[in-house]
Structure formats: structure tokens, C-alpha cells
A and B are shown apart, each in its own frame.
Chain A
Amino acid sequence: MNSLRIGLLALVFLTMAFAVTLVSLRHDQRESFRAWTILTRHANTLEVEWGRLQLESASLQRPERLETYARQQLNMYAINENASPER
């Protein structure tokens, strides 16, 4: 009879322990999800910034812009410049 009681108590204890562990794990999971959400948001921000920088870099490298800069700021000219009757 005693052993049955001990067994029952152990079962109750284990059930309680599992219940607490389950709650704790759920809490951890939600915390991890929250952290993941923050990191994802941060990654998105970085991606926006990266996209902006790539676009800016591509715009700054435009051959048309470089030519204007070379002509106006550095007084450069193409070697076959005089060959063009239209300009």
C-alpha cells in the first residue's frame, strides 16, 4: 500500500515537474522568437542600407557622370575628340 502511495506521489511530482518544464520551455521559445524577430528586423534594416549603398555606388559610377566630372573638374578630353563632327 505504501509503495503504491510513493509511486503515486512520484507520479504527481513528475507531472508537476514536466508541467513546470513545459511552461519554462514555452517561455524560452517565445523569448527566442522575440530575439529572432528583433534580429530579423535588424537584418532588414541592414539590407535596406546595403541596397541604398549599392544603388548609390552604381549611380556614382555612371559613365555619364564620370565623363562630366572628368571634363569639367579635371579638364580631360577624349583622344579622338576632334573626329566627331557633330559635337
Chain B
Amino acid sequence: MMSPHPDKNPRWRHYSLKLLLFGVCGVLLGRLLYLQVWETEHLKTRGYSAHLKTLSQALPRGDILDRNGRILAISTPISSVWANPQKLLSENEDVEQLARLLRIPETQLRNKIQKHAARQFIYLKRHISPAMENAVQQLGLRNINFQQEYQRYYPDGDILGHVVGFTDIDENGLEGIERTFNDLLRAKQGYAYVTRDNAGKAVDTFKPGIDGVKGTAIHLTIDSRIQYLAQRELASTFEHHQADSAAMIIVEVDSGDILAIAVQPGFNPNNSQERKSELYRNRAISDVFEPGSVLKPFIVAMALEAGTILPDTTINTSPGYWQVNDRTIRDLHDYGELDISGILSRSSNVGISKIALELPGSLVWSKLDACGFGHFPGAGLSGERSGFLPHHSQWYPTTQTSLAFGYGLSSSLFQLTQAYMTIATDGISRPLRLIKDATPGKGEQVFQPKVIKTVRTMLADVVENGTAKRAIIPGYRIAGKTGTSTKIHQGGYRRGHYTALFAGMVPAENPELLAVVMVDEPRENGYYGGTVAAPVFARVMPEVLRWLHVAPQPAPDKIMAQTGNPE
């Protein structure tokens, strides 16, 4: 049977079908637009995360080496175990066995995993031994991974701990050279961008990676053999005198290179239990003290240069004390009439005060300032301090006399060594150098060479006939000065609290080596610089001279006679 309107129905169908097709196409197009335009980033990320991965490439921190290329700090590869807590929990891995192998209490490990359940990465244990790594690998857990890291080792342990310093577990420098030169020593991490297969294995790269750069090695001027010797003898003295602390710096005069910075009490950077500030503090640079009589040679040099005294000028120190305003300056004994050399060898406070008061305050201040007192040393070690030198405009007459025998200013052992470089180098204040590649500083002429040579002759007399006889080394002529400064204790100077000092150079005529020793608060077996600090010099330096091939000199009979009985 035919429809009464044969064309009407198909046309309706035709339009409906077209509308449906357009509708479907529109929906598809809309969806396509939505996915391609609005959701692009999200979908890209999901796609990438399924198959692409960024692998970080760990590289070691730069080594720290001594002047002879011996390793003082090195990073060696070591593994850390990590896991994805989400997968670890969902796949019910054998945590009990894992905890046993990692030597962590099982409950502690489970708690750690639960606590970080929302994360995709947690370290289960860092820096594990190769044996432990093997054992965990044998366990064959799917969701346990290993990451290569580096661990810092210090082969010399407590011999150089104070200088080299240490890093944290992520190899960030926290103390010493490790801290000061952290940016140079740190490696720049590299990255590889890889495509993974279904098993998660890297099969290809999808874009060029970034190459990592190994940390730069740093060569110190330290000689580890000399450092060991200084540390050994200083430890012996530290214990023998029951001191609070002790430090010694040895310098090669020609270059200004620091050969050793020994500090007691010792500190081993490999042992994290010893990382306490009272142990790792480098007392040679961070502890300041009043230098006492070791400052006297500088006053003598100033006076000789200014022409207020001559080497043979005599000064009356009787009756062993001298009143300046409200202050009485005292000597140990009444030394009577002393020449300049005698003032230094007897360490007369009265004599040096009389010399100092003849000098203009501005001259004394400018020379001490030029020697480095009151200045930040900038040697490249963390914890350096500038000490204190008051400006001459703030001085009273008693300030100048106090400064003459080393009170009223403060200095670190490092600064004192720096200042003594002017006496060891014919009057040039040459900066000390701890980094071998650093350009040596030119230095500044502070005293005339002729004056300094005269002062050194006087300092040789201090060792031969004065307070520093225990610094004598057979076969060599030593120039040096002792110091025993009373410490400020509970608001005032107190007897029984001293800092013993000795600064010496060898050979006296043309010094090749300079060494300064400080023993803080010796309690047993004496406290004078001559009995506590000078013997350290006499025990350390002969071997240093031998190692550095400094030939003995034909000694005058007088010295040879004394060396038979240095006491």
C-alpha cells in the first residue's frame, strides 16, 4: 500500500539522519577540541609520566688535596635505598625481611612508610654498605630501588679536621674549607631524559640530556706530614699541661704558604658524634686573646725606625715597677739597666713601656694596623675573627703602655702569625695563603729591612740567653719571643688563668720557616710561654727543617754550648 504523502516521510528521515550525523560530528569535534585545546597539558603530562622519565646523574664533590697531592677529603660512591610508599603498601611487600636487612626496627620502618603514604618517593636508608645493598637486592622486592650518591671521607681523620671541616649527608659544606669553598667543590648535577618500556626499563632518550660537572678539586698549601707532626706534639703538650686548648701555625716564609694549622682538642670529621662546636671550632682563627709580650718586638721595631732608640740604648727599669697615671707596670724582677736586646730577652714590661711612651700614638696604631691587627684575615676559613685594635684617638697614656706589652688589643693566632711575617720577611706584611692556586699577595713594606734584621738579632738573643731557651734546635739559630698573658676572667685579669705563647723563626738570619704556638690556660707543669709553648716549637721544627731540606748552619760556640743543656 502506498502512502498518501510518499515524499514526506523520507525527507523527514533524511533531515533527521543529517541532523544526527551533524550532531555526532559536532560532539566528536567538540570532544576533539576539548582534548586538544583545553586538556592538552594534563594529557601530555599523563602520557609523559607513563613512558618518560628524568634520570638525575649524581657526580662527586671535588677532592681536597694537600700541597703534595695527598687526598684530604674525597667523595666515594655509595648507595641509598628508596621506595614508592604507595606501591609498597598496595603490593604488600615483605617489609619485615627488608627491615631486618636494613637493620631498622620493623615498626619504625612501617611507621615511616605509613607516614609518607601520600608520597611517591622516600629514602628508607641512606648510605648503606655494598654488602647491605647486595643483601637487599637478593631479596628481589619489586618496589625497592637504589640511588647512587656520594659520601665524604677524610682519610686523615682528626689530623686536619679543623681545617678541612665537614659536609652534611647531602654533601653541603658546613665547616672549614668545605663550607668556604662549597660552591667550587659542589658538583653540578646532570640529567638524562629517557623513554621507558612497560617494565619501566629505560630504552631510549627523548631529548638531549644535560651533562653534569664534577666538583673542582682544591689544593691546599698544607703539608699533611708537617700537619701530623704539629698535631702530634701539640696533643702531647695539651695533655701534659692540662690546657683548655692549644693551636700552632707553621708558615713557609718566602711564599706565605701555611704548612700546618694544628688545633687541640682534636676533632675527627668522619665521626658525626664529634660534630660539636667546642670540638670542631678552629681555635687558631676563631679564638682571640691578648697577645702579651709577643707584641714587644713590634714596639722595638717602631722605635728603632723612628730613631727614638738605638740598639745600644740603655733604659733603667729599676726598681722593677713604674707608675703611669693610676696604673703600676711591673716586671718579674728588678732588672736594673737594660739595653734593648736585654729588654726583649728579659721581657721587661717597664722597659718596653718607657720605649712606647716616646712614640706618637698614631705611629704605634698605624704600624700595628699595617701588621694586620684588627683586620679580618680573609684566609678562606669559616669562623675567622678580626680581633680588636682600638683607634689611637681613643687611647689614654696607659693604653699605649699596655699595648706595648700586648694588652688592650686582641688577636687570633692567625693574625699574630700574619703580623710576625713582617719580622720574618724583612718588614713586608705578606698575606698568608691557604689555597695553593690563589695568587700570592704582594704585601706592604711596614718596617725597613735594616731595622727588622736588627730586631731579629735581638730575638735570637731571646732564644739564646733569654726566656725562650727551650726553643733551641741544635744546629740552627732561632729568633723568637715568648709571651704569657693573663686572661680576662669574670670581668678582670685573674692570676692562674694564662695564655702561653711563642713565635719563632728559623734560621734567624734569613728565616725560611715561621711557627707560632698558643696554649690556652695550661694548668699543670708550668704556664709560661717559655716553658709551655717554646718546647713545642723545639720538638716540631727539627723534623720540618729536615723534610724541607733546610741545611743546619755552622753554629756559634755559644749556641753549641747551650744546646748540651737547654734547661
Contact = CB atoms under 8 A, between A and B. Distances in A.
Question: Are A and B bound to each other?
Answer: yes
Given A84-B236, A86-B236, A87-B236, A64 B539 contact: no
User: Looking at chain A's contact residues, is the secondary structure mostly helix, strand, loop, or mixed?
Assistant: helix
Interface in B57-76: 60, 70-71, 74-76
Contacts of A26: 204
B240 A86 contact: yes
B155 A51 contact: no
Contacts of A87: 236
B107 interface: no
B539 A83 contact: yes
Interface residues of A, number: 29
Contact of B159 (A30, A54, A59, A63): A63
B74 A44 contact: no
Contacts of B237: 86
User: Looking at chain B's contact residues, is the secondary structure mostly helix, strand, loop, or mixed?
Assistant: helix
Given A30-B203, A63-B159, A48 B76 contact: yes
Which of B76, B153, B205, B232 has the most chain A CB within a 10 Å cutoff?
B76
Nearest to A56: B155
A72 interface: no
Interface in B225-263: 225, 228-229, 232-233, 236-237, 239-240
A64 to B, nearest CB: 6
B233 A55 contact: no
Contacts of A85: 240, 535
B interface residue count range (under 10 / 10 to 19 / 20 to 34 / 35 or more):
20 to 34
Interface in B422-480: none
Given A48-B77, A54-B74, A58-B71, A37 B539 contact: no
B219 to A, nearest CB: 15
Interface in A49-85: 51-52, 54-55, 57-59, 61-64, 67, 78-80, 83-85
A33 B239 CA distance: 61
Given A44-B148, A59-B155, A80 B539 contact: yes
Nearest to B73: A58
B320 interface: no
Nearest to A60: B155
Given A58-B70, A63-B159, A63-B228, A37 B202 contact: yes
B543 interface: yes
B72 to A, nearest CB: 8
A64 B157 CA distance: 10
Given A63-B225, A86-B240, A55 B535 contact: no
B539 A84 contact: yes
Contacts of B538: 80, 83
B539 A51 contact: no
B542 interface: yes
B543 A78 contact: yes
Interface in A2-20: none
A5 B299 CA distance: 108
Interface of B: 60, 70-71, 74-77, 148, 153, 155-157, 159, 202-205, 224-225, 228-229, 232-233, 236-237, 239-240, 535, 538-539, 542-543, 546
Given A33-B205, A63-B228, A86-B239, 15 more contacts: A33-B203, A37-B202, A44-B77, A44-B148, A51-B74, A51-B76, A54-B71, A55-B71, A62-B155, A63-B225, A64-B228, A78-B543, A80-B542, A85-B535, A86-B240
